[in-house]
Structure 1
Amino acid sequence: MLIKTDKGRQELRPGNRTLGQRERALLLVADGSQSESRLGELFGGEGARLIGPLIDQGFLARQPSGRPVPRVPADASPTGIASAASHGEQFAGTRSLATARMFLFDLSERLFAPRDKALASRYREALREARDPQAMLAVGRALIADVEALAGSERADGISERLAKLLPAHLLESAL
């Protein structure tokens, strides 16, 4: 099992970008709950090629068997939606498309409804109509693009990273 090191958690904080999207996606899912071989299967098997350098550079570490996964302090959370104090709570649930969808519904309501009711309504309807993972991810990408246009790339990056933490691992490849 692989876990993020302090250096790996720092890389995921808003404003810290030294790695590419695939390396960052691997960091996001390396929480000690999935085997190294499972992470290696990401990106059509390219994940296996990325793991070694991430370990060598100190972003990831192999978790000794039998040890619990360390809890990440709330102030080290890379959620970045608004601030760590208001939205930095750690998500301890199961990754699922339903959880990701609810996150996007909530995000749309909080960010768009106060400013642009029509845009919030459009996303609400699009998320309701998205019946398969690819359709839901397309809505998520569009929503993040609108966030970037309205609030900047740092905020959009934080939302992308939080969404990646909620999606099932097998969907991460198509989400990025």
Structure 2
Amino acid sequence: MLLYKTPKAHQELAPGSRSLNLRERSLLLLAEGTPYAQLAQMYHGQGEALVAQLLQAGYLAARHAEMAPASLAPAPVPAPPAPAMTLAGTRMYLFDMVERLFANRQQAMASQLRQALREARDVQALRSVCDTLLQAVAEHAGAERATQLSQQLIHLVPDWSLEPHE
């Protein structure tokens, strides 16, 4: 089952409209022909409940891949443009993660990561911020928590390996 934004979701994501929390908005950003299972895995098991709420509230519409109209199905795109949409969704997800993990206790780290995310305009820059974020998580919450978060990021961007890079 693939999830798509409804007109109500597009209205919510427009500037000036804020009736949903950051987690709900980040899920909406990622829903553009995204498999249900991928979104449901987010937020440590809370993703499924959030997706269900967004479906029930009319922000998301579900379609089976074989039943999706051609106009609503994601069009095949060349490799370079695809990361741009994923990049924006990933940045939103990372902003939310920074807020949840560092804003209250590690304000300097949160500020540094927020600024780095604002400046990250390509996959390599975002990867660098992600590495810094995961290192900070390992320092403050332990290596196991950092590993869990890296696994979430792999689900968020399946083609983007979080293995050490050169």
Normalized against structure 2, the TM-score is what? 0.49
Normalized against structure 1, the TM-score is what? 0.47
